[in-house]
Structure 1
């Protein structure tokens, strides 16, 4: 069965919009990006459109690749702006930027994608302020299936700090046994064929095909690759679909739910602000 990410995303957004309207909330998200990556500009504008659809104010600040100092100054300015409740760094950052320093400048209570060392530490300690948006989207999709995942074998392909590693942690929280694969894994198929839940988070088209999975697997494809003007995930969808109990398509699967998680975290950041919790560091 193909999971309809757009339908799930709409359900989340409807709840967010209702809460904002009922309470007359005024959340504000700032998106900061550097460079001229056209896909990133599209993603940023998509987030702005989604924000406005639920009553969240949002704007994008653009910088050139050689404007790291100005970029950092803007982040610091946004940290101190009480009218801004969420800050999001639009990926990818230019190679010349010091990525971790950039992430760690963001006020943790405004870090709605959970990319700072502080917030990632809280996540792995089991006491998160926010859950990173794409991992949280994957978690939400799985929970929405109403399946008991206790004892299931989850295989995560990908080990990035902002997706592969945190989503593996979230699968552990569902009481699954987790195997994490990556670019140096020998005989990837050996592991993907064992998966009850297979999560792809690499960004490599056709990385996994139908011969590499077992029947009845739940496959969540969070990979994104642009090829010949089209968007693809990490799996060869046509060859794997018939083997899957559930599968997320690309596009239309994890992506729309991830955008909704941006909205949800921004709302949570706003509620943190109105509860005067900004400077608490538990």
Structure 2
């Protein structure tokens, strides 16, 4: 048996085409969504991510504004966010993480208007997820759920193990899946016998940043495997799953690259459109 590939790249293109059509309709009515991104420091990976977001924005036709600082104080960054919050022409604000050590990330995320929080990291938006009140979700968890839904992989009633407890992936994803009727186990570096937890799961979602971390003996036959991990190697971008052997045992599997990564970027654009529409509704 060879697993069916969960093609996030193809799905992301389909979603971007749909969003492009929405943007064209908005422009016919005289308006256009606008995304503002903020990058602080010289982290090469962050620069790559911001450039990709700019490219995606151009592809679907939305307006884009970028702010780059080699260095900035927390006070001045908060002042910039206040300005962007107040501007009616800015519909989404994205502050690229990680930030330098002298800036508190939580303070910055708390300052972003929840209606412009395209990353879905605002404490208010995360709290609304827990209470099942939100339709604005962090991009990677949202991308994972979209892939499962596209391939009609059942979530309700499934046993799902997430190997990640981060604030941007594991925690919000666990809440989303619980709200959809799954039984969720979250494991991490302090968990005893991770293999025991993953072997009992219908769906295994892994994001630890370790090449070949998830091996075939860690899953049951016909499990669904979603790889959220990204590691840059000499061969290119690789994930956390030992793909060649796991794909022979799983029923469905995401590749890296071409799986969750493109979906994360597409979900950012979808969140921007959602924020734009919410702001228009509030203005009525």
In which range does the TM-score fall when normalised by the shorter chain? Answer: over 0.9
1:101 is aligned to 107
Q: Deviations over 1:134-174 (max 9, x none)?
A: 11000100111113333211000111111100111121122
Residue 58 of structure 2 is matched in structure 1 by: 52
Corresponding position of 1:21: 24
Residues 63-113 of structure 1: CA deviation (Å, up to 9, x unaligned): 234543332222121111111000112122223321110100101100111
Could you state the TM-score of these two structures normalised by the residue count of structure 2?
0.93
Q: Is the counterpart of residue 90 in structure 1 residue 96 in structure 2?
A: yes
Match of 2:13 in 1: 10
Q: Of residues 273, 276, 279 in structure 2, which corresponds to 1:267?
A: 273
Find the counterpart in structure 1 of residue 211 from structure 2: 205
What is the CA–CA distance in structure 2 between the aligned matches of 1:18 and 1:87, rounded to whole Å? 22
C-alpha distance 277-202 of structure 1, shift in aligned 2 (>3 A): farther
Please list the CA deviations of residues 198-249 of structure 1 after superposition, one character each: whole Å capped at 9, or x if unmatched: 0112222222111211120111111112233621211121221111111111
Does residue 72 in structure 1 map to residue 75 in structure 2? no
SS in 2 for 1:244: coil
1:131 and 2:134 are equivalent in the alignment: no
Q: CA deviation at 1:277?
A: 5.3
How many angstroms apart in 1 are the aligned matches of 2:138 and 2:83?
A: 23
Range with bigger deviation, 147-156 or 8-17: 147-156
Between 1:131-140 and 1:221-230, the stretch displaced more is 221-230
Moved more, 94-103 or 6-15: 94-103
Q: Is the 8 A contact 1:3 1:248 kept in 2?
A: yes
State the match for 1:255 in structure 2. 261
When the two structures are aligned, how many residues end up with a matched partner? 278
- TM-score with structure 1 length normalisation? 0.94
User: SS in structure 1 opposite 2:246?
Assistant: helix
Structure 2: gaps (5+ residues): none
Corresponding residue for residue 81 of structure 1 = 87
Give secondary structure in 1 for the equivalent of 2:35: strand
Aligned equivalents of 2:244, 2:95: Cα separation in 1: 34
1:63 and 1:71 in contact (8 A); partners too? no
- Moved runs in structure 1, 4+ residues, more than 4 A? none
**2: CA distance, partners of 1:4 / 1:114:** 24
Q: Which runs of 5+ in 1 are unaligned?
A: none
Single out whichever of 68-77 and 131-140 deviates more from structure 2: 68-77
